[in-house]
Structure 1
Amino acid sequence: MKKNLIPLALGGLGIGTTEFVMMGLLPDIAKDFNISIPVAGHLISSYALGVVIGAPLLVIISSNFEPKKVLIALMAMFTIFNGFSAFAPTNTALLIARLLSGLPHGAFFGVGSVVASRLAEKGKQAQAISLMFAGLTIANLLVVPIGTFVGHHYSWRYTFGIVTLIGIITVICLQLWLPKLPISRAGNIKSELALFKRTEAWLIILITAIGTGGLFAWISYIAPLMTDVSHFSANMVSYIMILAGLGMVVGNVIGGKLADKMEPAKACIILLFAMAATLVLIYSFSGIQVVSLTLTFIAGALSIALATPIQILMIRTAREAEMLGAAATQAAFNVGNALGAFFGGLPIAAGLGYNSPSMVGAVMALTGTLFAWLLIKKQKSVAVMAY
């Protein structure tokens, strides 16, 4: 990994940890504040809402500043609000802190994606962006399980202390190792917001929110799937999540290479179709433990493999609003998180099995391939008109 990309990966490590560790900490936080787990679950929704609000807003506000200063400011904000989370005296205070700590998430990945592509060697922009997302995958593989262990056996407050420490280290590394880059803003706020008048941009947002929502329909209910359908013990779930995290590490590398070797939209179609097929297999064969573990690894790999092609696709489509576009895809990922969990929960509420969310996810992933196909058709139409 190039030294100047390490701070971006560290930022992804901190962000990935604070986003995904909350799932494992909910019982501990609920017990500490004497609330139910569903009420504690609002902390996940609060963070996601912060991402959706902050991603476009902070990018627009910071567009006139040098990217290095923007990334340092965003990570400083992230660090401060995660520090507040560690000391939150009540559930309401923690809810607000989670909302605020989510604000810089999408903007950091949005600005960071553009910075990574500008620092990359020609023809390797996607692989450079995947190195930034490598931090997020390592978070799921190593730091999230460690943070969950610390939260269970000591205190969830220490876990947020770990995230805060990662944030501090990231700020220092950004200052020391990230080179200064010129401001690349070519227009103004009005011209950048014109991005959302483009059909291509909305198709990419739909690919992200609906297509990747298929992953969240599956992973949101992976614990009961593994215990009630695959018949693993509850103690095995954390190790199974590590297996999914290992898949994400592998998938991140594959996604970066794939997006550099072919058109990102075609890469999205291939990966989304593969995800749909994998989710159908999960629905059909999760009762066989060895097959269930294998499919968990594959699904984890496919989930994160999509991140880089989608980000490259939006950066190329956004033209004079690259950072805003890249941040918008991060907001869309979190919309997909919410939609997948919601739609995946409907068949369970209707009395179907815990493998049923996987079929919902397969339908969402296939819908994503449809939007990707429409995007390719639109791109060809625009190219013909331009010619």
Structure 2
Amino acid sequence: MTPARRRTTLAILAIAVGGFAIGTTEFVTMGLLPQIAEGTGVDIATAGHYVSAYALGVVVGAPLIAIAFAKAPRKGLLMGLMAFFAVAHLAVLAANTYPTVMAARFLAGMPHGAFFGIGSVVAASLVSHERRTAAVAAILGGLGVANVVGVPLATLLGQRFSWHLPYVLVGVIAALTVAAVAVFLPHQPPSGEESMQAEMQALRRPQVWLALLIGVVGFGGMFAMYSFITPTMTELAGLDERYIPWVLAAYGLGMVGGMVLSGRVANRVGVLKGIIGALAAIAVLLALFGWAAQILWLAVLMVFVLGLLPSIVVPLLQTRLMDVAHEGQSLAAALNHSTLNTANALGAWLGSVVLAAGWGYGAPSLVGAGLAVLGVGVAALSALLERRSGGAAPRADRPASRASSVGAGTPV
């Protein structure tokens, strides 16, 4: 590996460490939902609001930060976002009631979307055009590793000691990310084209809104089920709660696999076709999950696949947004995570609604299947409109040559 390639790889890995911290905090709440509910004196359905609070923090923070700091040097902004993220997680030590935990989770979520959005733009700028999806997937790969290592370990620590402990550890990892970005990421001055007005131009493009809508409805389905994965596995599959970390690890392995495949899918079938195909498979999976969850080995296998399929879509959707947004890439990339967490909040809320109605733990996955079908419809509409207009983002949705094919897990 050449020195320049090594520097690029280390810079992207430094940002990916932040993705690891974000992935751990985003998903560990699902694994510790019974403990957090007991610790804050609420039932499990109400504790699902903690998932939504973090998601809403992402939804609010991503566009505000991307617009307000459009002209800020990207390296310094990434460091500042992780520093805020670290402080918000350490503050959870003082949270023991429903209102204080809701506030802590909301604040913790605010830097999430902007960090991933700006980090993705930075990563894509460090590599060739054909390797953009792979570079973005490498950043998002921190989420997958978090679900293989961080979430199961944090869940285990939370079960055995205190549900506060995982959030404190995430704060420490976030502080280490600040140091890693400071050391390995080269200076990222604004190009001179960024401005609040330029970023806002992206919102005038219909294809941007369609891509964002794909994220909201398509991923809302996955979160409707996964937000309640712990009680679903214990109630339907009969799994002992102490084995839940292994189920979360299976989901994480699926995520890593999806990130590895994402770059290849983009190069071989195209971005938009890949999104449509993966969302259709998610719809089928969720429609069958309520039945499959009653058979333990099959439930674990389907959790693995549920981690794999959405993780193929996320880098594809991120690339799609950066292409159709043109001059508003930072805002669009940040809004991708804002919409995915709108999906998180929507899915968790709809799941809590059907549970509170007494429909049982098989019902959230059926709600999710319906949302995934809507996501396929929106993606198909986007493809139809693009075809009629002559192709708004031809390079994004045309497979690259086989010579440029690169997996998302390849060092970039």
TM over 0.5: yes
Give the percent of matched residue pairs that are identical in Structure 1 and Structure 2.
36
Instruction: Give the corresponding residue for 2:25.
Output: 18
Instruction: Give the corresponding residue for 1:275.
Output: 282
Cα shift at 1:237:
2.8
Instruction: Give the corresponding residue for 2:264.
Output: 257
1:157 aligns with 2:164: yes
Answer yes or no: is the 8 Å Cα contact 1:124–1:260 preserved in 2. Answer: no
Instruction: Give the corresponding residue for 2:186.
Output: 179
Instruction: Give the corresponding residue for 2:401.
Output: none
1:84 aligns with 2:104: no
Instruction: Give the corresponding residue for 2:342.
Output: 335
Residue-by-residue CA offset, 1:81-100 (whole Å, 9 max, x unaligned): 11222344655444323222
The 5 A counterparts of 1:306-321 are: 306-321=313-328
Instruction: Give the corresponding residue for 2:173.
Output: 166
1:68 aligns with 2:80: no
Q: Is the deviation greater in 182-191 or in 216-225?
A: 182-191
Answer yes or no: is the 8 Å Cα contact 1:210–1:336 preserved in 2. Answer: yes
Residue-by-residue CA offset, 1:316-365 (whole Å, 9 max, x unaligned): 01110101001111010011112222334444444434223222222211
Answer yes or no: is the 8 Å Cα contact 1:251–1:300 preserved in 2. Answer: yes
Instruction: Give the corresponding residue for 1:326.
Output: 333
Q: TM-score if structure 1 supplies the norm length?
A: 0.92
Answer yes or no: is the 8 Å Cα contact 1:125–1:260 preserved in 2. Answer: no
Residue-by-residue CA offset, 1:20-76 (whole Å, 9 max, x unaligned): 212233443444444554554433222212111110000111111111111111111
In structure 2, relative to structure 1, the CA distance for the partners of 1:176 and 1:247 (3 Å cut) is: same
Number of residue pairs the alignment of both structures matches:
387
Instruction: Give the corresponding residue for 2:104.
Output: 97
Partner residue of 1:148 out of 152, 155, 160: 155
Cα shift at 1:307:
0.8
What secondary structure does 1:269 align onto? helix
In structure 2, relative to structure 1, the CA distance for the partners of 1:94 and 1:384 (3 Å cut) is: closer
Q: Is the deviation greater in 87-96 or in 55-64?
A: 87-96
1:129 aligns with 2:136: yes
Q: Is the deviation greater in 278-287 or in 322-331?
A: 278-287
Distance 1:120 1:67 in 2: 16
Answer yes or no: is the 8 Å Cα contact 1:129–1:256 preserved in 2. Answer: no
Answer yes or no: is the 8 Å Cα contact 1:259–1:308 preserved in 2. Answer: no
Unaligned runs of 5+ in 1: none
Q: Is the deviation greater in 140-149 or in 153-162?
A: 153-162
Distance 2:40 2:224 in 1: 28
Q: Is the deviation greater in 257-266 or in 117-126?
A: 257-266
Kindly provide the amino acid, as one letter, of the partner of residue 249 in structure 1: V
Distance 2:119 2:60 in 1: 18
Please report the RMSD computed on the Cα atoms of aligned residues, expressed in angstroms: 2.3
What secondary structure does 2:32 align onto? helix
Kindly provide the amino acid, as one letter, of the partner of residue 280 in structure 2: F
Distance 1:15 1:213 in 2: 19
Answer yes or no: is the 8 Å Cα contact 1:185–1:321 preserved in 2. Answer: no
In structure 2, relative to structure 1, the CA distance for the partners of 1:63 and 1:94 (3 Å cut) is: same
Cα shift at 1:165:
1.2
The 5 A counterparts of 1:360-379 are: 360-379=367-386
Unaligned runs of 5+ in 2: 1-5, 395-412
